[in-house]
Amino acid sequence: MAVGTELLLGQIADTNSAWLGEHLATNGVASHFHQAVGDNHDRIVLALRTALARSDGVITCGGLGPTQDDITRDAIAEVMGVELVRNQAIVDLIAGFFEARGRAMTANNARQADVPQGAAVIPQVVGTAPGLICPIGNKVIYAVPGVPYEMTEMFERAILPDLRARMAEAGEEGAIASRVLRTWGASESGLAEALQDRIDALDAPGDVTLAFLASGIEGIKVRITAKARTLEDVSSLLDKEETEVRRAIDDRLGDIVFGVDDESMEVAVAQRLIARGLSFGVAESLTGGLIASRLVNVPGASAWFRGGVVAYDARVKFAVLGVPEGPVVTEAAAAAMAEGAARVTGADVGLGITGVAGPEEQEGVAAGTVFVGLSLPGQPAQTRELRVPGDRERVRQYGAISALDLLRRTLDASTA
């Protein structure tokens, strides 16, 4: 549970919940609900009671500081049905923290030493506000500061060991992990239909699940999650299910899986170029440098990426890339741009992209039309016409990743 009105107003992003969800899962703790609540006593109390009604434990982040709106302790004390008691040892520690920096502690900082009766203190080692472990019957509330590095330190040092002890006592030790397959070129509904048999097969056992994550211009992700006694067992389950999912996707939708977990489309392209010992150059009109920008995000790109030409004006296409005089929003122009990119940059492989981002048509070509040209060693340039949806920015972004995906598939086919 993330506490702070600034979260509800969108002034800061709640990165703590994402971090906690990942690390809880790795340690076999199922995180069923995430919620955010503002700095309001009654609403925090309601949120805590709701969370305890549906979960065995709650981790609250934020609201433990010295100011008037830091009221998480007060809300927890009300839920526990106890009073807050000031811990003088904590007051002294906070005062020492300020003195070590040549500053005097203001009186309001002593509020951070107020502890609900019956709660255990998680001492601070990097800040001032201590954390709390608050038992409520056989359930528990953990309270940690909202500052990310303070939260993560307390989680690993105090919360995780306490959780493990509770899980062992309840006979629920285990591990949870996920693996994400990244796809491009299929809809979420198409993927769901292709994997329906796998979803049905997994429903009964319950130790492995599939989920679909729509990721905009990065495609659709298929997340495989497994739970088992050990991380080794989890890894084995993930390996087995990844094989089944890939087979089902390939059979129904073809080669649309381009990466795993954090492997982006540009990483997939880089891996193939490196494996084949090929260098690469690009000429961009429609995308205005987006493709080159993505490629240089890959560490070590200088080993295989020779460079790019942003040929937005037709005269640059003619003079620099050698595109024949005439219309420049055509497949023929894309092919000539690809050949020009390889020649100008001295690369083995060239890619050219042109088209109409919109909102109006150009040269009689509708907005959303993209032409991609590819030049591979010893082969005539090949082209592809694509139609991509969305406004001007989406057309450019979709065009960039679609062109890279076409290169990925072409490189695979050339060595199949």
Residues 323-376 have pLDDT tens digits of: 999 999 999 999 999 999 999 999 999 999 999 999 999 889 999 999 999 999
DSSP per-residue letters across 167-185 = HHHHT---EEEEEEEEE-S
Which segment of 139-148, 211-220, 390-399 scores lowest on mean pLDDT?
211-220
- H or E, element range at 385: strand 382-387
Most confident segment among 115-119, 202-206, 215-219:
115-119
Q: Give the pLDDT confidence score for residue 128 in this predicted structure.
A: 87
Indicate whether 416 pLDDT > 60. no
User: Model pTM?
Assistant: 0.74
- What would the mean pLDDT of 203-207 be, rounded to a whole number? 79
- What would the mean pLDDT of 43-47 be, rounded to a whole number? 98
Residues 140-158 have pLDDT tens digits of: 999 999 999 999 999 999 9
Indicate whether 385 pLDDT > 80. yes
Which segment of 211-215, 257-261, 348-352 scores lowest on mean pLDDT?
211-215
Q: Give the pLDDT confidence score for residue 34 in this predicted structure.
A: 96
pLDDT interval class at 178 (50, 70, 90): confident
- What would the mean pLDDT of 376-388 be, rounded to a whole number? 94
Q: Give the pLDDT confidence score for residue 175 in this predicted structure.
A: 79
pLDDT interval class at 12 (50, 70, 90): very high
pLDDT interval class at 228 (50, 70, 90): confident
Indicate whether 28 pLDDT > 80. no
CA 269 to chain centre: 20
pLDDT interval class at 27 (50, 70, 90): confident
Q: In this predicted model, which residue has the larger pLDDT, 126 or 393?
A: 393
CB atoms within 10 A of CB 348: 19
* Percentage, residues of the chain above pLDDT 70: 100
